[in-house]
Chains A and B, each alone.
Chain A
Amino acid sequence: MESIENLIENFSFLETLEDRYQYLVDLGEALPPLPSDLKTDAFKVTGCQSQVWLVPTFKDGKFYFQADSDAIIVKGIISVLMSIYNAKDTSEIKNIEVEKIFATLGLKEHLSPSRRNGMMSMVQKILFYAGKEEKQD
């Protein structure tokens, strides 16, 4: 898993949106698939234009998730979101300005979580799981 700092640097070398999409495809292809027994309705993220499953875990007070999709660019986005959110504690997660990071990556146009194409559903799910854990503390 690349750190988000590395990703930002890698994306900064990519001049066109096409190149950035291609890089997302590469990231998506490198994403480990979710075991099929975890691809259940309970882990399904609704509101996406592709099928997305997101499985959260907590370890030593840090949040982690695995996720998968049947769309390859969405898998690339998942990879980016993992770099952003994994191994953070809940207060860090709450302060992350995900919109700004996507703008820095040059992905504002079609893939920004604020676009109503389901990307936001994944972020909301991450925030939901992180918030749930916080309440249990």
Chain B
Amino acid sequence: MYKIEQIRKDFPALADNLDGKPNIYLDTAASAQKPQCVIDKICRIYEHTYANVHRGTYALAEAITTEYENARQIIASFIGAKQDEIVFTRGATESLNLVASSYALNTLKEGDEILISEAEHHANLVPWQIVAQKTGAKLKIFKIADDGSYLQEEFEKALNPKVKIVAITAMSNVLGTIFPVKEMAKAAHKTGAKIVVDACQSIVHKKTDVMDSDCDFLCFSGHKLYGPTGIGVLYAKADILQSMPPYQTGGDMVDKVTYEKTTFAPPPARFEAGTPAAVQAIGLGEAVKYVSSIGFDDINTHEADLISYFNEKTAETKDLKIIGTAQNKGGVFAFDFNGIHPQDLSFVLSHEGVAIRIGHHCAEPLVNRMGYTSLARASFGLYTSKSDIDAFFAALNKAKHFF
């Protein structure tokens, strides 16, 4: 039994009143609230265990280095990877730029192809545009269905031996569609492509296993996974990571430096130039422990329950159109309500204490492809309750009378 009330108590922000209004937080897909254990962990490190990592031999430096590397191990286990396959970055955006810059720019050439879906976030689109411009490779986009579903035939039709990189979201941040990463990796490998997985949304909603899915690269941001901002993860298979040149250069990533020549440390240190966001990484480790302690079995059951409740309420609500109704989707609902502009809607919902995201969701071509310039979106986290959904629908009804 999922103890939702107990879980909500772990998140101090959910109990807050903002100007006397409850915090109905339905924007977890943008960034998640933080459990007390993560907040406490960060404070404890700053209070008692703080020094620079990897540099000192005194007790504090060793203590924080141990914590930092322990966080790497926790995260590695969480996604079925080995510790030295986990690179800490600033976020998924930096992870994708790292792959584009260190891997793609060095391996792609004119005539090669990069294949992405119509459902990509700008972070998994723009870096590939730049790679295409610089290398002469071609960026190809494969179609999704009008309801947001993945179309296997479209993907396989676009695959050919010229495709060297497939970059795909595991779950769309707008439509909620879950993409079958394992099957896609298999198909991509068959024609000789590497697969890069943007797991920013999926990492929160379902078990991620890089061994099982056999993806070559996978990335996510800490702040969506109930962890701090400013920290993200890049997973890459050990042999690929080993073959890649550094992304940035500086301290802590070198082997030997003279004025003439520098040799670089092995991964993951090679990709972590400068003082890392160590406290944030440790905070993320704590967040992962928290999510694991609840477990994806229960998280998934709760989410499925919320989704069916949301769908029931949607069916009862005239003029509410969900954009993205794939069978296989997570708790992310972009919607159009009676043609009310999302910004107008957001003003009224915000007045009721309901936080939703509006705009193009950093996926402008996708929002346009679905026929809109702007969309509203409600999204769930592991702390979302049915009463949040009730409050959302009550606020929607209010908005209807307003405009």
Say yes or no: is B119 at the interface (Cβ < 8 Å to chain A).
no
Cβ-closest chain A residue relative to B359: A49
Say yes or no: is B344 at the interface (Cβ < 8 Å to chain A).
yes
Contacts of A110 in B (CB 8 A): 347, 350-351
Is A74 touching B402 in the complex (CB atoms < 8 A)?
Answer: no
Of A73, A109, A117, the contact of B19 (CB 8 Å cutoff): A109
Contacts of A74 in B (CB 8 A): 341, 343-344
Tell me whether chain B's interface is mostly helix, strand or loop, or mixed.
helix
* Assembly CA distance A118 to B403 (angstroms): 21
Interface centre among B347, B350, B373 (most CB of A within 10 A): B347
Is B358 touching A51 in the complex (CB atoms < 8 A)?
Answer: no
Interface string of A108-121 (1 = CB under 8 A from B): 01110000011000
**Residue tally, chain A, CB below 8 Å to B:** 18
Say yes or no: is B374 at the interface (Cβ < 8 Å to chain A).
yes
**Residue tally, chain B, CB below 8 Å to A:** 16
* Assembly CA distance A81 to B258 (angstroms): 62
Of A17, A25, A117, the contact of B351 (CB 8 Å cutoff): A17
Cβ-closest chain B residue relative to A17: B351
Contacts of A111 in B (CB 8 A): 347
Q: Which parts of A77-115 form the interface with B (CB within 8 Å)?
A: 109-111
Say yes or no: is A71 at the interface (Cβ < 8 Å to chain B).
yes
Is B343 touching A50 in the complex (CB atoms < 8 A)?
Answer: yes
Interface string of B2-19 (1 = CB under 8 A from A): 000000000000000001
Cβ-closest chain A residue relative to B351: A17
Contacts of B342 in A (CB 8 A): 49-50, 71
What distance in Å separates the Cβ of B68 from its nearest Cβ neighbour in chain A?
Answer: 33
Contacts of B402 in A (CB 8 A): 21-22, 25
Say yes or no: is B265 at the interface (Cβ < 8 Å to chain A).
no
Contacts of B350 in A (CB 8 A): 110
Is A72 touching B341 in the complex (CB atoms < 8 A)?
Answer: yes
Q: Knowing A21-B402, A25-B403, A109-B19 touch, does A70 contact B347 (C-beta < 8 A)?
A: no
* Assembly CA distance A74 to B403 (angstroms): 13
Is B347 touching A73 in the complex (CB atoms < 8 A)?
Answer: yes
Is B344 touching A73 in the complex (CB atoms < 8 A)?
Answer: yes
What distance in Å separates the Cβ of B234 from its nearest Cβ neighbour in chain A?
Answer: 29
* Assembly CA distance A2 to B344 (angstroms): 23
Contacts of B19 in A (CB 8 A): 109
Cβ-closest chain B residue relative to A16: B351
Say yes or no: is A37 at the interface (Cβ < 8 Å to chain B).
no
Task: Beyond A50-B342, A73-B347, A118-B343, list 12 extra A-B contacts (CB 8 Å).
Answer: A17-B351, A21-B351, A22-B402, A49-B342, A49-B343, A49-B359, A72-B403, A74-B343, A74-B344, A110-B350, A111-B347, A117-B343
Interchain residue pairs A-B with the least CB separation, the first 8: A71-B341, A71-B343, A50-B343, A49-B343, A73-B344, A71-B344, A73-B347, A72-B344
- Can you show 5 pairs from A to B with CB atoms below 8 A apart? A21-B351, A25-B402, A50-B342, A51-B373, A72-B341
Which residues in A have some Cβ–Cβ distance to B below 8 Å?
17-18, 21-22, 25, 49-51, 70-74, 109-111, 117-118
